[in-house]
């Protein structure tokens, strides 16, 4: 899906902004009439407040807009409280539900793989959250795990997906803990294991933890994956195989919560 960033000048246009300040990345989405007009993604860094403003400006500039053109702003995510120009903050669980309902209306189970946490969210046909569950305080089922392995293998995080798909003999990891798996990966490298096979093994370990969450909350089809981890097609395929079902991935899976925030902003002004 590609978006045309063209600003029309009709007087009745109403722009809203959704901002998702995550622990790893911050995302901003500009909507008008329930449609995405532009979006931006950037690393959150150490100053969430400055990053929130920077990512918003980046999305606005694509439409030749300024903050003064925005009617309503909803912030969500780990650092939502730092967005001092937001009209409202909303939980990211609710925003994920609203966002995925807009992208894939038939989805009832959502797997969000973020930088620090993974969670499984069940939604109804209106995108309202019915229940959710998060992984424990361990990076083993989150995007942080992939970042650790990418550093060990000395490859870019964006290289993981394609490389993992070339694996022929996935390495079996005896632990699902990111700390111990890091040491185990180093050992496998010294033993001559190929990077692709190590990545495939990591995907199997991550998928196992994530599928455990899905099993605990119950899988209701259809199923989608969002977050930065969803950009790793090798991981997405492994999760789908473990669940014995097709998993849907949006073109821009990182912006789902920011999109949901923007859609909720549209609801607020329509009232």
Contacts of residue 52, defined as CB under 8 A and 6 or more positions apart, other chains included, come to 19, 21, 26, 28, 75, 79, 82, 83
Whole-angstrom Cα distance, residue 227 to residue 252?
9
Cis peptide before 222 (omega within 30 of 0): yes
Nearest Cα neighbor of 125 from 220, 13, 232 is 220
Nearest Cα neighbor of 138 from 180, 190, 104 is 180
Contact 219, 245 (CB under 8 A): yes
Q: How many residues does the chain have?
A: 271
Q: What is the pLDDT along the chain (271 residues), one digit of tens a residue?
A: 434 444 443 446 899 999 999 989 999 999 999 999 999 999 999 899 999 999 999 999 999 999 999 999 999 999 999 999 999 999 999 999 999 999 999 999 999 998 888 999 999 999 999 999 998 666 556 777 788 888 888 888 889 889 999 999 998 887 656 667 778 888 888 888 899 999 999 899 889 889 999 999 999 999 999 999 999 999 999 999 999 999 999 999 999 999 999 999 999 998 7
The pTM (predicted TM-score) of the whole model is 0.89
Strand blocks (E) in 135-245: 223-226
């Amino acid at each position: 899906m590609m978006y045309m960033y063209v600003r029309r000048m009709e007087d009745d246009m109403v722009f809203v902004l959704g901002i998702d300040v995550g622990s790893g990345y911050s995302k901003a989405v500009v909507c008008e009439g329930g449609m995405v007009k532009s979006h931006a993604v950037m690393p959150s860094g150490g100053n969430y407040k400055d990053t929130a403003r920077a990512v918003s400006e980046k999305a606005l500039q694509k439409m030749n807009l300024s903050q003064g053109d925005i009617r309503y702003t909803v912030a969500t995510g780990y650092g939502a409280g730092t967005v001092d120009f937001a009209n409202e903050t909303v939980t990211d669980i609710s925003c994920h539900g609203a966002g995925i309902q807009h992208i894939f209306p038939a989805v009832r189970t959502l797997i969000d793989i973020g930088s620090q946490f993974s969670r499984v969210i069940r939604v109804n046909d209106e995108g309202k959250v019915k229940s959710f569950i998060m992984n424990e305080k361990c990076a083993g089922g989150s995007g942080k795990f992939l970042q650790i392995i990418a550093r060990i293998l000395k490859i870019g995080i964006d290289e993981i997906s394609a490389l993992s798909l070339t694996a022929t003999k996935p390495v079996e990891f005896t632990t699902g803990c990111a700390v111990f798996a890091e040491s185990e990966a180093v050992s496998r490298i010294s033993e001559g294991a190929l990077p692709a096979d190590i990545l495939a093994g990591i995907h199997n370990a991550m998928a196992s933890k994530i599928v455990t969450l899905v099993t605990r909350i119950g899988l209701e089809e259809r199923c989608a994956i969002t977050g930065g981890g969803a950009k790793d097609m090798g991981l997405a395929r492994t999760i789908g195989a473990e669940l014995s079902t097709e998993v849907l991935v949006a073109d821009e899976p990182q912006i789902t919560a920011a999109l949901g925030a923007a859609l909720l902003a549209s609801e607020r002004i329509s009232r």
